[in-house]
Amino acid sequence: MLPEDDKITVTQWLRQWLVNQAEVRDLRDNTIDNYRRDIENVWIPRIGKHKLLDLRAHHVTKALREHIKERNEQISSAVELNARYEAEAAAADQERQRAGRKRPVKPKHVVVPRPFGPATANRAHATLRAALNAAMRMAGLPRNVAVLADKPTERRRKVRPWTPEQLGSWLDAIEEHPLYPLFHLSSFAGLRRGELCGLGWDEVDLNAGRLVPEWQITAKSYLTARRANKEGHKISYRTRLKTGDSEATPLDLDAVTVEVLRNWRREQTRQRLKMGRAYRNDENLVFTRADGSPHDPTQVTKIFKRLIRQPGLRNVPLHNLRHMAASIQIEAGVDISVVSKRMRHSKIGLTSDTYGHLIGSVGKAAAEAAAAIVPRRQAG
């Protein structure tokens, strides 16, 4: 199916393009899922009926504007409905208490849709732009109208990590928890959740004090493998990371983190000896449950949420530990280019945009240090 066919609709082309991304380019599952969500939820319902060659920039602009408006209305409606359910439950509770009943009424609840803000809208726009670029490469589409369309202005949110004191206090408090080594490594090496769950011992060199993440376990790959394995089809829980130059760079570890991993490896060996034949760690994973099986990434997040319910700690997502890894390096005076390499960002601009506001007094110290090395005539 080629775009030069003047009868092809946007729906037909987008779905064909998606198949090509999955089968020809062999992209990661998460990437394909994101493309599919954008295509099926945003673009096909709003511009799918248009013929590909008739699509114009104003169609794209209008589609984004309408989707943002509709999502905001859905969120407001859900919030109002939940508030009503809460009020009804509270009134019912009062009636039950007057009747001498102690069991509280559990209010009904509807799911509040996720916001469709500027960042999400721009990702959806990028999906359409990529699909139309492919149509241009196949010589049937004269121009990419998505490039000409208006899109929301995105302002990168400033990350607000814990202070080093808060991080240290929290790590001390959870030191006996089975997942402590995983959370410690995330805090100081900045690995993502999937990378932590999929990390293998063959990617870690404790003697050299470094690691090179090559694999991940995503929520989807975990569920897919678990379902297949239950049905007798043995497949890997892990999927390969994208292999860009930045991601293939060895990541040096500090001495404390190396010791934490050494202790964990000894504990893992004790678990293996205790479980005997019941122990299965077929992929030689660093972080496993007591029987050697992989951790469910979704459960790791839930456990993290429970562990941070401590006085003085802000409720933050698990990804905040990765931000902590960057922020403590910046506070320690590490050059932003080095931080960028260690975070395995594709561009230093991404690091600066995300963490530049954290430089603070470090920037002042750098300015004073630079001025100090230049010989000047003594004043007076």
How far from 149 is each of 44, 63, 89, 141, CA to CA, in Å? 17, 10, 47, 16
pLDDT in tens, 158-203: 778 888 899 999 999 999 999 999 999 999 999 999 999 999 999 9
Take residue 335 and report the two structure tokens written for it. Answer: 């050059």
Helix axes 219-230, 29-38, angle to 10 degrees: 110
For residue 142, which phi and psi values (nearest 5 degrees)?
Answer: -70, -30
Residue 292 confidence (pLDDT) = 96
Tell me how far apart the alpha carbons of residues 144 and 131 are, in angstroms, rounded to a whole number.
Answer: 9
Domains and CATH numbers, the chain: 1-155 (1.10.150.130), 164-311 (1.10.443.10)
Residue 265 confidence (pLDDT) = 97
Positions in the chain whose pLDDT score sits under 50: 245-246, 380
Q: Which residues contact 81 (CB under 8 A, 6 or more apart)?
A: 110
For residue 205, which phi and psi values (nearest 5 degrees)?
Answer: -120, 95
Residue 26 confidence (pLDDT) = 66
HSE at residue 331, side-chain half, CA atoms within 13 A, is 12
285, β-bridge pairs: 200
The three-point CA angle 43-44-50 to 5° equals 100
Minimal CA–CA distance to 212: which of 342, 340, 322?
342
Asked if 248 and 212 touch (Cβ cutoff 8 Å), the reply is: yes
Asked if 293 and 278 touch (Cβ cutoff 8 Å), the reply is: no
Tell me how far apart the alpha carbons of residues 63 and 151 are, in angstroms, rounded to a whole number.
Answer: 10
Residue 364 confidence (pLDDT) = 59
239, β-bridge pairs: 216
Dihedral sign for Cα atoms in the order 270, 273, 275, 280: positive
How far from 113 is each of 67, 73, 76, 165, 338, CA to CA, in Å? 13, 10, 9, 35, 38
Tell me how far apart the alpha carbons of residues 129 and 147 are, in angstroms, rounded to a whole number.
Answer: 7
For residue 131, which phi and psi values (nearest 5 degrees)?
Answer: -65, -40
- Counting Cβ atoms within 10 Å, is residue 376 exposed (0-12), middle (13-18) or buried (19+)? exposed
Burial 233-249 (b: 16+ CB within 10 A, else e): eeebbbbebeeeeebee
CA 126 to chain centre: 18
pLDDT in tens, 281-323: 999 999 999 999 999 999 999 999 999 998 888 889 999 999 8
Amino acid at 36: R
